[in-house]
Homo-oligomer: A and B are copies of this chain.
Amino acid sequence: MDSGEALEKLEALLRVIGLKKNEIRIYRLLVEKKRGMRIREIQKELGISERSVRAHVLSLYRKGLLRRELIQRGWLGYVYLPVSPVEILQKIKASIIQRIEELEKEFKS
């Protein structure tokens, strides 16, 4: 399995847990660019409206898939970076285990 294949399997998993197609495109872009990007840069790369990019980036940030850094470089603003696939896999694993164990308890009681 090469890294592109591994990334595709991660994306399939992200779809299963309910991520939207454009959220996954944004996450993938940030993984590929290997540097922090501003909302406007993401918007230009993907050709999605700024409003949509803002909503998707916020959603990814809240779900723990992106982190952000406040940058002052002439302008002041956030750049977004991807949380590493390994960290995301660990979070997904923990969340799935928790949900299944809650359900196990229900059936045992």
Contacts and interface: CB of A to CB of B under 8 A. Distances in A.
Interface of A: 1, 3, 5-6, 9-10, 13, 16, 84-86, 89-90, 92-93, 96-97, 100-101, 103-104, 106-108
Copies of this chain in the oligomer: 2
Contact of A100 (B1, B93, B106, B107): B93
B97 A93 contact: yes
13 contacts: A1-B106, A3-B107, A5-B106, A6-B107, A85-B103, A86-B107, A89-B103, A89-B104, A90-B104, A93-B96, A93-B100, A93-B101, A96-B100
A49 B14 CA distance: 37
B107 A84 contact: yes
